[in-house]
Structure 1
Amino acid sequence: MLSVLNASASDNEDRSERIRDFVSLGGKVVGAVAGSAIGLLGGPEAALAGGAAGTTVGEVLASAGVEFFDRRLAERQGVRAAAALAVATVEIDRRLAEGERPRPDFADYPAEDSDASQVLEGTLMTAANSYEQRKVPYMGRFFANLAFDETVSVSLANLILKLLDRLTYGQFRVLATLASENYLEMLIQLGAERREGTFSSNDDVVAEMDELSSIGLIGVGQTDGQVVPLTAVIEGSSWRTMDLYRARLTPLGVRVHRLLGLAAMPDYERDAVVASLRGQA
């Protein structure tokens, strides 16, 4: 990859053009966000807010765009990677403009082999390979939130990326639902009605919850506040029989929810989870 520090004017223009061409693909997924990202990354330098830190983080983002453009991914892959990059760029710039400071290992080492570059590559590859387009904006938010969260190690970030590659958008919706106190109240009533035999939950949402339990993102809430694995509870073979009101995010589930920015998921997506748990189409 080229560096803005040692490239000629013609090299910089070629680089900027490749960034603009790549990020513009993301407009098919995230609309005007892609245009905003082009404005931030498409010049000779990545002009993000935040002074030197913003320039460094912007260089990481721009370099990733050039690399992915040069790989000539299949069109759908390119579109999704570009969309995730656009979302990450705009969100990072917003937080820098508000005075937040990125984590030092993401702001001080813009080399190709830096932690930031490697995690960003993993993020964009996960977005590129996703067959569910609705996951893509949340992948962008994942990197943007990670850039400001020093509590998440690079090794943990890479582990989470592997999990995100496996999760469906339906499982994103389940995580968003269980993190909401308002929806947990709904699950109490819903569980009581289901125990009375009024309905059965749809197979897809039960399978989604069971897999989230198997990979350690949701569990069974205890009276002392702990969340234990579903299999650790006597009656815990499946969420088809387990009381729904006891479903809770594990500590890892809470981190995944926060990094993906799932609190911003529209309520109609959570409503769809409740409807499916109620056995409705």
Structure 2
Amino acid sequence: MRINRRVNGAFRVQPLRIEQGSLDVPATDELNWSRVLDAFDRARTQFIAAYPTAADYVLALEQRGDGIAPNRALTRTVTALIAAGRAEEAAQMADQAIAAGESGGMSSTVDVLKYLSAWAKGPQAYSDFRVSLKPTHDYSAMYETKRSDMSVDLSREHHRGMMDRHLHDMDGSDPWAIVLSARPPAGMEADFSRSRYLQAAGSAEAMTIEYCASGGAEIGAVSVRSVIGHRHESPGEHDVDIVLPRSVETISRHEVFTAQEAAEMFERFYRTDTIGDDYVLRPVEGYRADGGLIDLRLPPTRGQEHC
């Protein structure tokens, strides 16, 4: 319970079932709970006598199975180990389960095993863990037929995000675009010089991806938004139309991406805030420190709908 009150989320340590039974009572008889309560008190007293301490309770968990769900049993054992002073074992068990993709069950986006593991490692580890929960990115999926877009914040230490699913679902309408923005480092205010985001628009079969990052001092800008392309031998023609809900973006063939390629790029950006060195950038817009725009598009494209 002490751990429970310090965890940001809701989880339950499942009690150990120490005995079970039933009592048949004729429907015509008045209910008398004395026999049931007496049986409960007897079982409880016997259990406490056999396992009087938290360390003994851990032994009971190891010796007596009661058939609860594996994730609940895992949470119960880890919390019992912590209570018994076996924190190192608790952290090791939790970490092994996390690495294996298991969960402890918790109504939170960060599973309880991560909380318990950090708690078991001591105050500094738990403090560092709490810092790691702070959002590092903002994420949005845009829809044409829904009243509002979906927007959430993400922490790269704990969330894979939903980029892959949304990118594969994109059909130019629902959803038609996604945007992943990196937040500025802790303690720094957001401004145009720190703008860093990745956005895609179109469909899963053919989409355009744009990248915004700091730079552009030579043109009086503090950040630049560019269309991303594959490396290619020649510039090619702007001959591919990306149909958006209210406009059309025309780009070169080497600038067309599929959902699978985009998912890998978005995941890399999410983990590192970079897109890697395997692409070329075509600048289309610069941003001054005051938010003013510098149009860099040559030649202009048909339609100017951006994410």
Shorter chain as normaliser: what TM range?
Answer: under 0.3
Greater Rg by CA = 2
Q: Report the TM-score when normalising by structure 1.
A: 0.27
> Which has more helix, going by share of residues?
1
Structure having greater relative contact order (Cα 8 Å, sep ≥ 6)? 1
Q: Normalising by structure 2, what TM-score?
A: 0.26
